[in-house]
Amino acid sequence: MRGALAACLAALCLLTACTAEGDRTDFPTPGVPGSAEPGTLRVLASSELSDMTPVLDQVEKDTGIKVRPTYMGTLDAVEMLAEGKADDQYDALWLSSNDYLRLRPDAAEKVVSETPVMSSPVAIGVKAGTVAELGWKPNDVTWSQVEKAVQDGKLTYGMTDPARSNSGFSTLVSVASALSGAQSALTDADVTKATPRLKEFFKGQKLTSGSSGWLAAAYERRGNVDALLNYESVLKGIPGLTVIRPKDGVVTADYPLSSLKATSTATREDVRRLTEALRTPEIQRAITERTHRRPVVASVRPASGLDTTRRRELPFPGTRSVADGLLDSYENELRRPSRTVYVLDTSGSMDGDRLQRLKTALTDLTGDFRDREEVTLMPFGSEVKSVRTHVVNPADPETGLDAIRTDTNSLSAEGDTAIYTAVEQAYGHLAVDQGTFSSIVLMTDGENTTGYDAEHFELFYTGLKSSFKDIPVFPILFGDSDRSELEHIADLTGGRLFDAQQGSLDGAFEEIRGYQ
């Protein structure tokens, strides 16, 4: 199946090897995520749990148990578990939810215990001014009201990619469950019933992201999006938002700490002790105060500002086929299409193995392109060599994909490196707003040696219309490229730097997919 699930399956090993700048991933030994250390628990954890570091430091002082987390997306972690790649490499699993895990018997059988540590429901963070304009009473808002506001053109929002982020997946499930009126576990019929309303709902999505952190930063930078859909704990950390839990229900993350079957009795005992320590009243208070998540111990009150009004828990998909079908529908039918210019360094220094690695990475990436997606290849050396644009037509996707592969295979290396000239031309190519998620991916193995310089690019970017300033550049650090040069481009345009020097080029391209 091409689309959301296929991306998760194909990219799993690559994603673990490639990390976006700004994300924190701890490995027990550099490059060897599974190496053991005495007194340390190797934990495969959801990426948003990086904010638990101060709490875990306190737990280590109290118990002597050190947690060494490796962070990745929940769906990727489940796939890793299912394939047996976590066996003897990790001692525990700590995801935002085990709901998706339970849809995968081959993954669920690897877990022998699970205990919730804290919770956070899906919510909507809306600008205070927008709440007032809509006349909403936060405690009474329903998903149908949100849908109506979107239809009326009065509400736009951002959310993370459901194929790569559990917060995005939980949001998708919440919306589908509420708009379908499902009273039990979501079925294919529920998804079909809700599809027309879901199409209208996702017309309001103006911002997508592979991570909650970048989503929040992009929201604050742009200022032209009315709301964010994410976990309550994430939204509470963003100034100026009124956080609303829809009255008709939500999906809640309960962050279970789970022991893995492949571990020893002594290791499982350490996991049990760690779980107990995290559920003590003192630590539960620290968790809710620091992270805005809700305590699971009844004697501990949620942090100030967390509404304690009860909400219905919306039904999760009952089978993997329903969950995968919902993801595939979102990626290929419901969401706005993507429009991406791949600005590819094919200067002389790329000759040989580097060019072959680029061709392999792009060829593999075609299996991840979505229906309706527009893909432009813009190879450059001393100047832009060609501009070839292809659309993945739902009626005949292979024609577009084959054309991308053919153009990729014809790439050749020669010339100097005109980075800024090529990126400026990419912006020119995207100059007509088509209501898509537009972005530029810049891959270079060197520093700028000819054409426009950084100062010229800054003046060019400053002169762009505001809507085109929202088009981010995602540079890939590769070969001998200059980190500071690429970081400057990412920071200026609101993009993000991806490191293929430490990881893989394939992994960098795959990880960027969550932001397109």
Which portions of the chain are predicted below pLDDT 50? 1-33
pLDDT given at position 234 = 93
pLDDT given at position 35 = 55
Please give the Cα distance from 194 to 188 (Å, whole number): 10
pLDDT given at position 461 = 97
Q: Are 321 and 147 within 8 A, CB to CB?
A: no
Please state the length of the chain: 516
pLDDT given at position 1 = 40
pLDDT given at position 165 = 84
**Alpha carbon separation from 43 to 17, 27, 94, 363 (Å, rounded):** 16, 10, 7, 33
pLDDT given at position 210 = 87
pLDDT given at position 36 = 63
pTM listed for this prediction: 0.87
Alpha helices, DSSP H, located in 373-441: 397-409, 419-429
pLDDT given at position 38 = 66
Please give the Cα distance from 146 to 287 (Å, whole number): 30
Which domains can be identified in the chain, with CATH numbers? 4-118+254-295 (3.40.190.10), 120-252+311-331 (3.40.190.10), 337-515 (3.40.50.410)
What is the tens place of the pLDDT at every residue in 61-79?
Answer: 999 999 999 988 788 899 8
Q: Are 167 and 232 within 8 A, CB to CB?
A: no
Could you give the count of Cα atoms lying within 13 Å of 99 in the half-sphere of its Cβ? 22
What is the tens place of the pLDDT at every residue in 126-143?
Answer: 999 999 999 999 999 999
